[in-house]
């Protein structure tokens, strides 16, 4: 019996207990509130976002950073099966609770598929969404809904989105869906799978809780903030929250600020900081929702640091900052974790990146069969 079948069986059993404690629509002092369990989870990942990247919001953002609103802060070690992780192994640690090799998408160190938290929650009746400013097939979002042995397999990842448990997605990556390489028109397949697909704008006449939505708004990655991407990330986050609010079911959303990493790789401080501030604005949408809702856990962290970014003095002037970089790649500095809402207290302390998976599961009262 495969791991996936075993865990499906277990979640069916757990699902029964779960549904007994489920509230009826309208009675919002819910069981989850009484039990202190998270009904919904919003995981926001700032790709390549180390402590200096977070700190930049406190020096370069004109308003108070939303990072300041979190009561609990922790630190994670981000190594994969080797010392310095990539985004694939980093996201796979968050999504499956397993350390894997760099390049792994939803598979363990032996390339065996591992059920992701998005899939486990979906099996329990949760709705789910993924949002990114990269292609939606890129390593971070892919690790939540796909299982392939290498992050480069973008068309295979796109194909897996069709049969995945995802109900709402937004990002770039159109070129991986049009069949230019494998001849399969994945856009058509998504439509057949009840997705309302929009390739021109983040707009819906009126959101229907019975529909699924997909937005593919760029050929590959979304435009940079420096090239006028606008408020795509906070707006897509808000739209997902509005959409999931149409249902009484719990939801899991992964929101990625993908290009903080790309600004780090480019050693371009303006690029990095503009992406970081945009990500902070998306965090604001998640926190506003969670504060009103009372049953939503918000977790913000990063897969690793990129660029060895430092908020250094500008030419020795201690009253002026000019960021410097020590690498064009990733670094393995400890990474901050911010948590708000039911179960947030679990996220304090210093632990491995796989602890993000374990703690989200514990906060939601879900046990894993893995």
Active site residues: 87
CA 130/CA 294 separation, integer angstroms? 22
Candidates 39-47, 189-197, 232-240, 334-342: pick the segment binding Mg ion (CB under 5 A).
39-47
Candidates 116-124, 179-187, 254-262, 358-366: pick the segment binding Mg ion (CB under 5 A).
254-262
Decide which of Zn ion, Mg ion, none touches 108; Cβ closer than 5 to 8 Å per partner kind: none
Is 86 a binding residue for Mg ion by CB under 5 A? The answer is: no
For Zn ion, the closer CB: 30 or 331: 331
Candidates 28-36, 252-260, 317-325, 333-341: pick the segment binding Mg ion (CB under 5 A).
252-260
- Residue 260 Cβ vs Mg ion, minimum distance, rounded to whole Å: 9
For Mg ion, the closer CB: 187 or 302: 302
Which residues, in sequence order, are CB contacts of 203 under 8 Å at separation 6+?
A: none
Which residues, in sequence order, are CB contacts of 168 under 8 Å at separation 6+?
A: 127, 128, 129, 130, 131, 212, 213, 214, 239, 240, 243, 244, 253
Is 47 a binding residue for Mg ion by CB under 5 A? The answer is: yes
- Residue 231 Cβ vs Zn ion, minimum distance, rounded to whole Å: 24
From 87, 267, 296, 301, residue interacting with Mg ion (rule: CB under 5 A): 87
From 114, 135, 140, 301, residue interacting with Mg ion (rule: CB under 5 A): 140
Spell 62-98 as b/e; 16+ CB within 10 A means b. eeebbbebbebbbbbbbbbeeebbbbbbbbbbbbbbb
Long-range contacts of 322-325 (CB under 8 A, 24+ apart): 322/269, 323/52, 323/56, 323/269, 323/272, 323/273, 325/264, 325/267
From 56, 80, 175, 258, residue interacting with Mg ion (rule: CB under 5 A): 258
- Residue 277 Cβ vs Zn ion, minimum distance, rounded to whole Å: 19
For Mg ion, the closer CB: 94 or 252: 94
The neighbouring-strand residues paired with 42 are: 253, 298
Residues of span 239-268 touching Zn ion by CB under 5 A: 261
Chain centroid to Cα 246, Å, comes to 21
**Mask for 304-323, x = binds Zn ion (CB under 5 A):** --x-----------------
Decide which of Mg ion, Zn ion, none touches 140; Cβ closer than 5 to 8 Å per partner kind: Mg ion
Query: Where on the chain is the footprint of Mg ion (CB under 5 A)?
Result: 47, 87, 140, 258
Query: Where on the chain is the footprint of Zn ion (CB under 5 A)?
Result: 261, 306
């Amino acid at each position: 019996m495969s791991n996936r079948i075993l865990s499906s069986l277990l979640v069916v059993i757990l699902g029964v207990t779960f549904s007994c404690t489920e509230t009826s629509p309208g009675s919002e002092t819910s069981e989850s509130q009484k039990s202190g369990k998270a009904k919904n989870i919003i995981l926001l990942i700032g790709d390549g976002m180390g402590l200096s990247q977070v700190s930049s919001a406190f020096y370069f953002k004109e308003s108070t950073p939303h990072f300041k609103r979190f009561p609990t802060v922790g630190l994670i070690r981000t190594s994969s099966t080797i010392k310095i992780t990539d985004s694939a192994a980093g996201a796979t640690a968050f999504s499956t609770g397993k350390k894997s090799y760099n390049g792994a998408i939803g598979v363990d160190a032996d390339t065996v598929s591992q059920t992701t938290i998005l899939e486990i929650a979906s099996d329990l009746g949760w709705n789910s969404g993924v949002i990114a400013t990269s292609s939606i097939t890129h390593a971070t979002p892919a690790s939540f809904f796909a299982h392939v042995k290498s992050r480069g397999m973008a068309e295979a990842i796109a194909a897996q989105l069709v049969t995945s448990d995802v109900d709402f997605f937004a990002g770039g990556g159109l070129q991986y869906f049009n069949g230019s390489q494998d001849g399969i028109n994945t856009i058509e397949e998504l439509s057949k799978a009840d997705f309302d697909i929009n390739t021109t704008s983040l707009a819906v006449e009126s959101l229907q809780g019975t529909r699924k939505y997909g937005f593919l708004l760029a050929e590959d990655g979304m435009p940079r903030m420096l090239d006028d991407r606008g408020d795509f990330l906070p707006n897509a986050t808000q739209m997902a929250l509005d959409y999931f609010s149409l249902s009484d079911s719990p939801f899991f959303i992964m929101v990625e600020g993908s290009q903080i990493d790309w600004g780090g790789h480019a050693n371009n401080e303006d690029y990095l900081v503009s992406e970081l501030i945009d990500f902070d604005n998306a965090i604001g949408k998640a926190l506003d929702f969670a504060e009103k809702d009372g049953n939503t856990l918000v977790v913000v962290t990063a897969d690793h640091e990129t660029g060895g970014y430092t908020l250094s003095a500008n030419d020795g002037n201690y009253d002026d900052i000019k960021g410097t970089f020590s690498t064009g790649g990733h670094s393995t500095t400890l990474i901050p974790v911010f948590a708000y809402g039911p179960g947030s207290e679990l996220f304090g302390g210093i632990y491995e990146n796989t602890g993000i998976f374990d703690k989200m599961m514990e906060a939601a009262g879900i046990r894993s069969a893995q």
